[in-house]
Amino acid sequence: MIARYIRLKAILRILEKFAELFTGKTEVVSAIETFTDNTNRIGVLLAKLARSRKVLSAPKIDKEIKLRTSLFTLAGLGVTMGSRRKDTPQVNLFKAAKKDSYSAAAWAMLEAAKQAYDELAAFPVVAIKVGVTTEILEAFQLQIQEFGDILDATDAQFKDRKSDRLELKALFSANSTLLKEQIEPVIRFEGAGTPAVLREFLVARRSGARKKPEITEDLLVEISGTVTNIVTGLPVINATVDIAERELITTTDADGYYQFDEVPVGDLIIGCNAPGFRVPEKVKVKAADGESLQVDFNLQPEAGDTPV
């Protein structure tokens, strides 16, 4: 998208340079004004999207790791508490919470932490006897609140990013239409008397064009997903995901998440591999313009290996 934006800025400079050619032509002047506004907005959106998803996820991941650690510890103490009370349902609840501390997805783990807190808070006297002091419980409650808040904030940011990408696509499409239907015809007409404007316009218009004409820049799709250890349920970090036909490759982050932002549409085959895991079957998808596809992989550890 950056290359497309650079071309639009180059065209804007040419339109400004030869502005006198459009004097009195109200329709094309209006089109150029819209084209200018669209291009400026594209620049703003690209600046917002410059921060990668991984950067946005960093604060959430930090608090998630800390909450998982606290839940694992306190759930273990909760099992002891339930055993002392001879409360089998409570023991089972804390055992499930302990498992969720390392195997559940973020939202499920948060709910498990809330349940564990409520159980511990309901029996403060016994909780203190197994080592869960009031201060520890209050700190745990604060962790739960902060992680819930940052989960909401991170989800909102990702929704905004998706909205921004959709707006970008619409703006690029609108500018392409303005150029093709309103601005370029006038420039070609004026080029008969002022060859320089047509020459410079065409150079800017075509610079950086794709070498493969069958793949148009306006037909793009977003593909994302997660890679998970099918045995432990944990994310697989630094797994490689590729789309061979488009010569695209990426790796998963700390959440096992990967994303391809701009993939030309068509029939695609998505592959995945990670050290210590069996190579899964490749996934075939048919990507249509404007779609956001989710392709997840569950990897089976190789015999004798227990990677996380």
Predicted confidence (pLDDT) per residue in 96-140, tens digit: 999 999 878 788 899 999 999 999 999 999 999 999 999 999 999
Angstrom CA distances, 212 to 140, 178, 209, 246, 304, stand at 56, 23, 9, 11, 46
Asked, for residue 41, whether it belongs to a domain, the answer is: yes
Q: How far is CA 29 from the centre of its chain?
A: 38
pLDDT reported for residue 271: 95
Using one digit for the tens of pLDDT, what is the confidence trace for 4-61? 899 899 999 999 999 999 999 999 999 999 999 999 999 999 888 877 666 777 888 8
Residue 10 and residue 135 share a domain: yes
CB atoms under 10 Å from CB of 66, counted, come to 13
| Residue 187 shares a structural domain with residue 276 | no
Stretch 201-220: mean pLDDT, rounded?
A: 58
In a domain, 94, yes or no: yes
Indicate the residue among 158, 189, 209 that finishes a domain.
Answer: 209
Interval 267-286 mean pLDDT? 93
Residues 162 and 122 in one domain: yes
If asked whether residues 163 and 242 sit together in one domain, one would say no
How large a percentage of the chain has pLDDT more than 90? 55
305 within domain boundaries: no
108 with 234, same domain?
no
- The pLDDT of residue 207 is 57
Q: What is the mean pLDDT of residues 68-87?
A: 96
162 — phi, psi (to 5°)?
A: -65, -40
pLDDT for res 281: 93
In a domain, 53, yes or no: yes
pLDDT digit string, tens, across residues 226-265: 899 888 778 898 899 999 888 899 998 877 888 887 788 8
What are the tokens at 128?
């203190």
Domain of residue 83 covers: 1-209
Is the pLDDT higher at 2 or at 167?
Answer: 167
Of the residues 149, 175, 209, which one is the last residue of a structural domain? Answer: 209
Q: What pLDDT was estimated at residue 304?
A: 52
Average pLDDT, the chain: 87
125-160 burial code (b ≥16 CB/10 A, e <16):
ebbeebebeeebbeebbebbeebbebbeebeeeeee
What is the count of structural domains for the chain?
2
Check whether residue 273 and residue 183 sit in a common domain: no
Within a domain: 304: no
Beta bridge partners of 235: 228
Last residue of a domain, one of 147, 176, 209: 209
Residues 255 and 140 in one domain: no
Together in a domain, 235 and 109:
no
Q: Are residues 134 and 187 in the same domain?
A: yes
**pTM higher than 0.95, yes or no?**
no
From the number of C-beta atoms within 10 Å of its C-beta (0-12, 13-18, 19+), residue 27 rates as exposed
Same domain, 22 and 128: yes
Inform me whether the pLDDT recorded for 153 exceeds 50.
yes
Q: Is residue 284 part of a domain?
A: yes
